Amino acid sequence: MDTTDIIGAAGVGLLLLAYLLLMMKVLNRNDNVYIVMNLLGASIACYASVLLEYMPFIILEAFWALIALAALIGNLSNGWIRR
């Protein structure tokens, strides 16, 4: 396992952990913690995809991160600061 694999695994692991916590009802989809986990996980996975020069996942993870960023900005601007 090289550095790129470790970076990618960390990003994907964070995304999967966020989803698991959502499914177990530990987090809510509007919780800032859930949104930040998605933002960081997608950003890290996107960075690993850039290192691999694999455009399909660069696009996927970049959009995932942008959507999470928009959700976080929306929460913060509406005063929905949770957890």
What tens digit of pLDDT does each residue of 22-43 get? 999 999 999 999 999 999 999 9
Cα–Cα distance measured from residue 82 to residue 26, given in angstroms and rounded to the nearest whole number: 13
pTM for this model (two decimals): 0.91
- Report the pLDDT value the prediction gives residue 13, as an integer from 0 to 100: 98
Domain ranges within the chain, ordered by starting residue: 3-77
Question: Which residues have CB under 8 Å from 56's CB, separation 6+?
Answer: none
Question: Which residues have CB under 8 Å from 80's CB, separation 6+?
Answer: 30, 32, 74
Under-70 pLDDT residues of the chain: 79-83
- Report the pLDDT value the prediction gives residue 2, as an integer from 0 to 100: 96
- Report the pLDDT value the prediction gives residue 81, as an integer from 0 to 100: 53
- Report the pLDDT value the prediction gives residue 15, as an integer from 0 to 100: 98
